[in-house]
Amino acid sequence: MKPKLLGLRLNPAIYGLILLSVLVFTSCEGNVQLFELKADIEETQEYKIVNLMQDAVSGSSSLSSKSSTDEDEQQCVEFQYPVIFFAQMPGSLTIDLITINNDQDLIDFFDGINSLEEVKIDYPLVLLDDEGNRTIVYTNKELEGTLQAADDAYRGDGDYEYCDDKNKKVYICHNGHTICVSVNAIWGHMNNHDGDVLGQCNDNDGN
């Protein structure tokens, strides 16, 4: 199933003003994040995000194991749908609103992403773990960091102490207490809470 495209035809006279307002909104509010898709996209940070998102739904990476029939090997990271993109074709004054309703829609969208001039993600984006716990991200930086940390932890890379037998939860020392969190929450804890460290606390007062 191909993603649904809703074309928004813009008058060239007001296109520049609308584009400017979107860019200002992006930099000030952090809600709509711009991917500048260039010829050398495979060398850009944005392409890394695309790869991580693809990995999460492809069933062929550590972030997803959808090809497995083992219930313990469920998808590590899932997206809460719908996911919304804004896309523009090269030389076009049309901005397409692309609604992604499932994993296959997302795979189809990324298969054709190199044909686009610009892509914006409509944040916030909600990630789910295999127990349905929600992790909310608001920027490209947060999305990349969250997916990369989850990937590293799930593959066993780095200094992680696991509190389950599936590599889907890790210990973090948070405010002097050892907590057990989803791999989706690692990046948020380490970047948003001063003093949080990987592993169990040395002097644990309780979980």
Greater confidence, 120 or 41? 120
Render pLDDT for 7-45 as a digit per residue (tens, 0 to 9). 444 444 434 433 433 433 333 333 444 454 443 444 456
Using the predicted structure, report yes or no on whether residue 165 has a pLDDT greater than 80.
yes
CA distance 158 to 204: 22
Q: How far apart are CA 119 and CA 74, in angstroms?
A: 30
What are the structure tokens assigned to 181, written together?
A: 């969190």
Cα separation, 90 vs 113, in Å, equals: 12
pLDDT-derived band at 5 (thresholds 50, 70, 90) equals very low
Percent of the chain having pLDDT more than 70? 68
Angle between helices 45-58 and 140-155 (to 10 degrees): 50
Tens digits of residue pLDDT in 54-113: 888 876 555 654 444 444 455 678 999 999 998 888 888 888 899 999 999 999 998 888
pLDDT band at 2; cut points 50, 70, 90: very low
Q: At a CB cut-off of 8 Å and minimum separation 6, what does 196 contact?
A: 172, 173, 174, 175, 189, 190
Instruction: Determine the pLDDT at residue 46.
Output: 72
